[in-house]
Amino acid sequence: MTRRSPVLAGAVAFALAALLLMAMGGELMTPMLPVAALALAAAGLAAMRLPAWRGWLMGLGAHGAAFALLSALPLLAGHLGAAFWALVIAAWLGAWSFAEALSGARLRSGMGRRALDLAVPLVFGAWILILWEILVRGLGVPAVLLPPPSAIWLRLAGSLPTLAADFRQTFLKAVLVGYAIGCGAGFLAAILVDRVPFLRRGLLPVGNLVSALPIVGVAPIMVMWFGFDWPSKAAVVVIMTFFPMLVNTVAGLAAASAMERDLMRTYAAGYWQALAKLRLPAALPFIFNALKINSTLALIGAIVAEFFGTPIVGMGFRISTEVGRMNIDMVWAEIAVAALAGSAFYALVSALERVLTFWHPSYRT
């Protein structure tokens, strides 16, 4: 006999409680809400009897309830009672049970496993947005404090030219150029440190000092040196990305075992031959670790640097000016673009890592 999920039981209990409260009356309701509560309760009870169908049943029940709740918000604004919030909790627990079933599924095909790996975070992210929308609009949170996702989406869709110009200024110019220079310089410095041993004692402490410099202190200096346009922001990104690449590459170059290095010496391999054929391949996981860390650091550094002087374009400039105008939906639209760009950049680096380090134990299935 399979063990019942407490999350599934909770979803059924709250759906039945919502139905009971609706039946008692005294609250404004839309026709869809009792149907959604009944469907969610029935899906949960069926899932208890048919565990193999739990994912499909709870997915349909939870998302149907979410649709009913979102549809009811404009009609019931200011009149949301206990039945509504009980159904919100039931839908959330139903979605939790759905995600739990997805994460526990075992598929044989590689494509199916990859689709499942993508589906779980998508469901989780979608329900964060659903709950955000329901809570903000249902509780009447002022838009100046936290706008609902629907308002952010409308602002994003209506400001595409402005957001595209900001993305081009910050990401395509400052982030990518600074990232390439900072990571490239860190990698070359690591090779130099490895080749000239005394630099390990001299250069690494200096690099550690540079990495500890606060962005808010460095950014104004870079603006004075390189001007108000994107090169000063790229310079900040270079400073932020140099040290992680340096430290990780130095550690990676030392990852090859003594036996492997002795084997290369028995083949009469010189320094550069051993570096190219043994030590750099062994260091790739460390190098990609630095590249992934820097993919997020670079965007953060460029946006923060734009707070200290920039032309009238850029993500950091837009965030700072729109906050002053109380256009918080535009601020969140910029945050959404930055989050998507950073996530896509990280995913691209991770995909390249998987291609080049397919031999690493972490990628073996």
pLDDT by residue (tens digit) across 126-160?
Answer: 999 999 999 999 888 888 889 999 999 999 999 99
Other Cβ atoms less than 10 A from the Cβ of 57: the count is 27
- The C-alpha atoms of residue 63 and residue 69 are separated, in whole angstroms, by 10
Residue among 156, 149, 153 at smallest CA distance from 129: 149
Percent helix, strand, coil in the chain, to 5, is 80, 0, 20
For residue 363, the model assigns a pLDDT of 58
Cα 127 to Cα 61: distance, rounded to the nearest angstrom = 14
pLDDT tens readout for residues 210-250: 777 787 888 888 888 888 888 999 999 999 899 899 989 98
* Domain boundary assignment for the chain: 6-141, 156-363
Name the average pLDDT for the chain: 85
CA 302 to each of CA 168, 262, 310: distance values in angstroms, whole numbers, following the listed order: 12, 44, 11
Q: What is the pLDDT of residue 178?
A: 94
Judge whether residue 123 has pLDDT over 60.
yes
Tokens of 80: 């949301």
Give the separation between CA 309 and CA 219, rounded to whole angstroms.
Answer: 9
pLDDT digits 0-9 by tens, 2-53: 456 788 889 889 999 988 888 887 676 778 888 998 999 999 888 888 888 8
pTM given for the model: 0.82
Q: Which CATH architecture has domain 156-363?
A: Orthogonal Bundle (1.10)
Q: Which structure tokens are listed for 171?
A: 């990401």
State the sign of the Cα–Cα–Cα–Cα dihedral 195, 201, 202, 205: positive
